[in-house]
Structures are given as structure tokens and as C-alpha cells.
A and B are shown apart, each in its own frame.
Chain A
Amino acid sequence: MPKVANKIHILIIAVFACLFLMAATAGAQTPPADAPAGSSLEQRVAQRKKERAVALDQNTTERLQNRCTDAQGKIRSIRGSYTTSSNKRNDVYKDIDAKLWIIIGSLKLIDKDTFTLEQQRLELLKQIKAFDNASVQMRQTLDDITAINCKADPAGFKSLLETAKIYNSQVRSSFVSIKTYIVDQIKPTLSSLANDLKIKASTE
């Protein structure tokens, strides 16, 4: 009986340990909230520290303090190229939206049913907005990383860096989602409309 009791105790401890690990992991993966408009650097650092709940041991703290300045230099150049890429991408998305808007308008002139295409355009706009928001938050976070005194606040530096990684992941998944939506949904709708017009032209 004592052996069985011991096994049960071990099992209960293991279950709690798993639950604890899952909770810790979930906390680390929690998407960051948007930084409030008009917030200061200190406010944003405090927000990210609270969100990420980074705990640094002595070794990690010293390592960060020794290396963070060089990392800030690299992040500064990443931030520059990031801005260029996201602006270019936004222009492409705006161009696609404008073309859809024009084709919807011209199809309406000949009384074609554009409901599906209009709905798809609205969904695309929603996804573009999500990408744009993630880009803006990402750029703000990168700015904060380069602005913070990383030697004085390595935990804040680490929290911002972890936040930036999450935003980078969000940005990447959003533009993949946009591309997939355009290729799998919008383009087939346009092809279908073109086919309808071809059939109509051939029968007239």
C-alpha cells in the first residue's frame, strides 16, 4: 500500500508540474497588447515587462549588459530595412485594393453581381489592417529597444526584444495570410467573373 500511495503522490506532483509548465509557456506566448497611443518609453517598457514576466539570473543579466549595446546597433539597421519593406508592402496592398475597387465599380455599371467580390475586398482590407497594425507595433518596439538604456535595465531590454520577436512572427503570418487569401479566394472570383463575361459576349 505505501508503494501505491507513493506512486499516487508522484503522479499528482507530475500533473501539477505539467500544469505549471503549461501555464508558464502560455504566459510567454501571450500576444502583446498594443502600446497605447501617446505612451512614453517608460510606460511601454513597464507594459512589456509585465506582459513577458522575464526573469533573469545573474549570468544572463551580465551577459546582456555586456552585449546589448552592439545588439542595439544591429537592431537599428534592422529597423531601417523593416520600415522600407513594410512601406513597400503597404503600397502594393493599397494598389491591389484600388484595382479591386475600380473593377467592382465597372462591373456594377453593367449590372453584374459583385457581392462576393465586395465581401472579399472587405475581408482583404481587414487583413491588411491587421498587418499594418502589427508593423506599426513592431516598429515602435524596435525603436524602444534602440532607445532604452539596456545596461541599466536588461530585463526591460529583454522584454522588448521578446515582444519584437512576437510581433515579427505576427507580421510574417499576416502577410502569408493575405497572400493566401488573394490567391485562393479573390483570384478565383475574378476568373469566374471574366468567364461569365466571355460567355455573355459569345452568346450576343
Chain B
Amino acid sequence: MKEQEKKPWSKHRKLRGRFGIKSFRTELILTIFFMMLLTSTFTVLAYIPLRMLLPPLKNFNGIATSIAVLVACTVIGTCVSAFLTKWVLSPLNEMISATDRIAKGDFKVHIQETFHERSDFGILQRSFNHMASELDGIEMFRNDFINNFSHEFKTPIVSIQGFAHQLMAGGLTPEEEREYVRIIAAESDRLAKMANNILTLSKLENQAIVTDKTVFYLDEQLRTCLVVLEKHWSGKNIELNLELEEVKYCFNEPMLSQVWMNLFGNAIKFTPVGGTVSCSLHTDGHTVTVRISDTGIGMDEATCRHIFEKFYQGDTSHAGDGNGIGLTIVQRVLVLCGGKIEVESSLGCGSAFTVTLPATVLHGNEAIESNEKER
């Protein structure tokens, strides 16, 4: 019995080297199982009949023969079970080592899809490869984001630092001094806004559920946003055209407010003096539609497709004071509430953003979302 136990251990040391320690227990169990199965099978099928069929053997020393046969069975059994274990476990081992590589950060692994696509293991293999390619995609996206982000941060810092040094060095005309100081102030403002925006976006992206929901009037929220922005639209003599139905809504109020602040802010920013910003709100019981439009400079089709991307700005010289994150935040909030946003625009005429939200159904002070009710 001691010999039986020794064999599996040495085999494991070898296998451990080849397949990695993760499958140790499985291999051990499987190996012992196979070995015992085969040994007992051989014993029953070979030894005992042999003994009966070959009477001369009876003359041999029984114990020696038994040990000899036992050893032979063990060796054969071990070889067979080694082969079987390898055959059964190697795909699993391959997946285990591939998973280790992903854990270390190499997302380009790909395992051979050797099993039929409808078998359980085949499905597992294909899912694994799919997961690896998704992770690879995210990694690429993350690198892009980091690159964009550093660029967005560094650009204003370069200006601030550079112009500050120029001012310290002296020897400038008063106009130049004023201009440089103005640039430092403007770039600092931009940096401050961007820090806030990025923080907001990070928080939203890490959020899967919405908390702090309250019931409020959507029309009132839209009006309040415009009141807050009063300085901006009245300063440009922009006319407001409002058609707001009274709509009660249940959601995280400040989050949704950001959506309107961004959309109104953009509408006002891109509309020239004397233009018009319109807003309409209505509901049909299932869906709430908010449309914010302006008579501003508009966008071409290519720009429309990219505006929701992070850091994207139609005007690439950053002459405006935005960061390109506003609409990304808008889209993220809408995803969290089950809504969506569409844009129509034409250059020189203006743009219109249509936001659709699922209506909330209220019973007394409780709000039930209409899609939940339908479930």
C-alpha cells in the first residue's frame, strides 16, 4: 500500500510542473480513483483467472506473485490514469493558465476552441475567449481615455505655467501683461470646471443604481434651471420660448437637473445674440419628452455622431470654455434612469436635443416606474 501511495505523489510532482498547481486536488483525486479502479479491475480480470487458469503458477510463492502482480497493475494503472487525466484535464488546465495570464494583465490570450460549440465545455471555451476580447477592448478604451485626459489637463496647465513665468520674467508691455493674466485666469477657470466635471462623471460611471429619489415637478425643474442661467441668456438677449406641461417625476433631482443645465447651457452658449432657445415638455402617460432647441450655429452630421464622446468638442481649438464632457454626463444620467437622447442639427440653423424618459406612475407619495408596473 505504501508503494501505491508513492506513485501518485511523484507523478504529481511531474504534473505540477507541467500543468500548474491549481489542478492539484482534482488530479490527485482522479488519479487515485483511476488507479484503484484499474488496479482492482486488473486484479479481478487478470490475476485471479490467471491463477486459476495456470495451475503451475500456484506453485510459486503466493505472496511474491501477489506483490509482483500488484506492482504490475499499479504501473499499468498509473500510466493509464496519467494518460486519462491528461486527456480529461488538459483543456481545463489550459483554461486555468489562460485565466492566470488574464489576471496578470495580458488580455490577448486566446484558447483553442477544441470542443463542440454546443457542449458545456465548448460554450465555456467560447465564453472565455469572448471575455478576453472584451477586456482587451476595455483596456484599449482606458488607455485612450487616459491619454485624452492627460492631454486635457496638461494643456491648460502649460498655459498657466508658461504665462506665469513670462510675467515673472518681466519686460512686458502693460497690454501684454493684461493679456497674459487674462489667459491665466481663463485657463484656471477651465481647469476648475473640468475637475468638477470629471469627478461628476466618475461618480456616475461607478454608479449602477440611483439613490435619493424624490418626487418633484419636472416643469418646475426646467424653469429653475433657466432661472439659474438667467445671467447668460439675458446677457445675450436670447428669447425663451417655453411650452411646459405639468409633469410629476420621481428620480434623483440634482442628477436630472444636471442634464437640463448642460443642455440649456450648450443651447445658450452656441446661440448668437438675439437668438431663441425653446423648450417643450409633454407626456403621454408612458413617456415623457423634453425637447430643447436653439437657433444657434448648429453642427454637421459628423460632429453629431461624436458629441457624446468624452472630451469631444465640435470646435477643436477649445476657444469655448467647455471640456467636452457635459454631454457624456447627460448620456450617463439618462442611461441610469432608462431614458435616451437624440440630436438633430444643421449648420447655421441650430440644434435640437430630444430627451425621452420613462414616465413615473405615482400612487399617493409612492412612485412606481411605469415599466416596473408593466412587469
Q: Answer yes or no: do A and B interact.
A: no
> Footprint of B on A, CB under 8 Å?
none
User: Chain B interface (Cβ within 8 Å of chain A)?
Assistant: none
